[in-house]
Each structure stands twice: as structure tokens, then as C-alpha cells.
Amino acid sequence: MRERPAAKGTKPSSVELIVRFGNGGRLTMEDLALIEAIRKERSILGASRVTGVSYRKCWLTVDALNRTFETAVFATHPGRRGGGADLTPFGERLVALYRSMERRSRTATAQAVAELTASLNPVYQARASAEVAEWPQPRSKPSRWRRS
């Protein structure tokens, strides 16, 4: 089966890896981007600035990752000067394992993704994600003031 070239301005098809752990934790591509930004910047605040994610969300992600595993992913050093965050050896191993799973899944799914890509409707335009369609719609509250 021949693969159609991607239409101009469209992204190539891809597979995203999300690991959901039995204890409720998870590991996503966004988590890996944050981990790598913290590794480079050696600071949660610096990673927040580089990624454009709020400091609070970055800090909560760091905390969640550290609590997900028995061994910490990050070592944090509080303080205004000299403070920061570093990846622990376990954090480095976590990144390596995730990247390995990512490469293997890309290789294992390449043929199926190519077949699905060849079957795409070339004029389709997404209106909203499926997640947005599933959100409950807000109800309007009755007004306390009535016009007479």
C-alpha cells in the first residue's frame, strides 16, 4: 500500500506514549519535556520559564513524580540563591526507559500508522477535540433580578 504524502501544512501522524502506573501515577510526553527542561536549567522556575508552563504546575508535576516512585526523580535544593533542582540517577534512568519505550513503540506501530495515514480524509478539519465534546456543559444560573 502506498503512503500518501502529507498535505501541505499538516503534521505527520504519530503515536504518543502515556504510561499509567497501578498506583495512580503517570508519565507523559509533557512530563518528559519538563524533566528535560529541569535537567538543563537546574531549576523548576527556569524550566517553567523555558516551557511556558506555570511554576505551580511545574512544581506540582515534580512533586507528583517524586511521590509516584519509591526513589525520588528530582533532588530539590531550596533557597533563593544556590537553590535549584537536579535529576537523580533514578530520574536519569526514568528518562532513558521512557525514551526506549517510545522508540520501540514507534518501530512496532510504524506500518499500522502508515496504513491509517493513507486512509485519512484529505479535507478533514478538526473542530474540537473529543475531550472537549465530553465536558459537561455549564448551566446558566437563574437571575436573582427579575424585570417587571
Q: How confident is the model over 8-20, as pLDDT tens digits? A: 556 788 889 999 9
**pTM score:** 0.73
Nearest of 122, 117, 107 to residue 2 by alpha carbon? 117
Is residue 24 left, alpha or beta, with left meaning phi > 0 and alpha meaning psi from -120 to 50?
Answer: left
Nearest of 66, 63, 62 to residue 35 by alpha carbon? 62
Please tell me the distance from the alpha carbon of residue 79 to that of residue 83, in angstroms, as a whole number.
5
Q: pLDDT of 68-95, one tens digit each?
A: 999 999 998 877 666 789 999 999 999 9
pLDDT confidence band for 1 (50 / 70 / 90) = very low
133 vs 56, higher pLDDT? 56
The per-residue pLDDT for 143 is 55
Fold of 19-120: Arc Repressor Mutant, subunit A (1.10.10)
pLDDT at 108 over 90: yes
Region 117-135: mean pLDDT is: 75
Please tell me the distance from the alpha carbon of residue 4 to that of residue 93, in angstroms, as a whole number.
38
Nearest of 9, 7, 19 to residue 99 by alpha carbon? 19
Q: Specify the DSSP class assigned to residue 85.
A: E
Region 35-53: mean pLDDT is: 94
Please tell me the distance from the alpha carbon of residue 136 to that of residue 145, in angstroms, as a whole number.
26
Mean pLDDT for the chain overall: 85
